[in-house]
Amino acid sequence: MDPHTIERFEKGWMLLAATLVLVLIGVTLSNVVQAAVPAVDMHHHTLKSVNPQDLSSTPFATPGLKQNEMGQYELYMLAQAFMFNPPVVKVPAGKPIQLFVTSTDVVHGLQIENTNINIEVIPGVVGQVTYTFKKPGVYRVGCNEYCGVGHQSMMTQLIVEETP
């Protein structure tokens, strides 16, 4: 190869190396930016973690069914030894319900009969699932994670009501 070919060859490799370095810097920076986004962002419904000792600034302060600004249903439930809060919940049939659940004490489970809803409920972590109840009726909700002496009685009812 003559010297000019070699030079072009090297330039090609240098360009490739420089591109890789820039791509890596870009990837790293975008990760940093993502990490800087706070976990609690109630307006975009990405509530992923909470302080189990202080839920006052979260929707869990008043658990139950809410409708967000887009008219979507959000159901906030608390699991605690040995009950669910609210104790009885009514939701409309045929509408997607975004369920958020967290624990104020130990690890619980939230299982709703005749659905595939089965969430491990961990203090500080917000479990989330979206579900549309097609059939009106009473669905039993139980804790399926042994949580102490009252575990057996830790259950509640979810009443799915016909939508007009």
Q: Which residues bind Cu ion (CB under 5 A)?
A: 108, 143, 147, 154
Residue closer to Cu ion by CB (options 72, 144) is: 144
* Least spacing, CB of residue 121 vs Cu ion, in Å: 8
* Least spacing, CB of residue 48 vs Cu ion, in Å: 21
Which contacts (CB < 8 Å, 24+ apart) does range 63-72 have? 64/89, 65/89, 65/90, 65/91, 65/97, 72/96, 72/98
Rounded CA-CA distance 104/106 in Å is: 7
Structure tokens at 3: 């010297």
Residue closer to Cu ion by CB (options 26, 150) is: 150
* Least spacing, CB of residue 146 vs Cu ion, in Å: 8
Structure tokens at 58: 């979260």
* Least spacing, CB of residue 30 vs Cu ion, in Å: 40
Write the CB contacts of 83 (distance below 8 Å, at least 6 apart in sequence): 154, 156
Residue closer to Cu ion by CB (options 111, 132) is: 111
Residue closer to Cu ion by CB (options 33, 149) is: 149
* Least spacing, CB of residue 131 vs Cu ion, in Å: 20
Only one residue has tokens 């870009």, namely 26
Residue closer to Cu ion by CB (options 49, 111) is: 111
